[in-house]
Chains A and B, each alone.
Chain A
Amino acid sequence: MATSDREHGRRAPTLRPDLVALTEWIAPGERVLDLGCGDGVLLRHLIDTKGVVGYGIENDPARIVACIERGINVIQSDLDEGLADLQDGHFDHVIMSQALQAMHNTQGILQEMLRVGHEAIVSFPNFAFWKHRKSILEGHMPVSESLPHQWFNTPNVRFFTVADFTTLCGLLDIEVREWRGFDDQGRPVQEDLNFLAALAIARIGRRA
Chain B
Amino acid sequence: MSAGTSRKTNKIDEVFSVIKGKRKKNLIVYITAGYPDIRSTEKLVLEIDRAGADIIELGVPFSDPVADGPTIQESSQHALAAHVTLAGVFKLASRVRTKISAALVLMGYYNTILQYGLNKFAEDCAKNGIDGVIVPDLIPEEGGKLLKASGAQGIKVIFFLAPTSDDSRIRLVSKLSQGFIYCVTVAGITGARSALPDLNKYVNRIRRFTDKPLALGFGISTPGMLAKVLKHADAAIVGSAVIKVIKANIKKQNLPGIVGAFISRLRRGVPGERKTEKNGYHAQKN
A and B bind: no
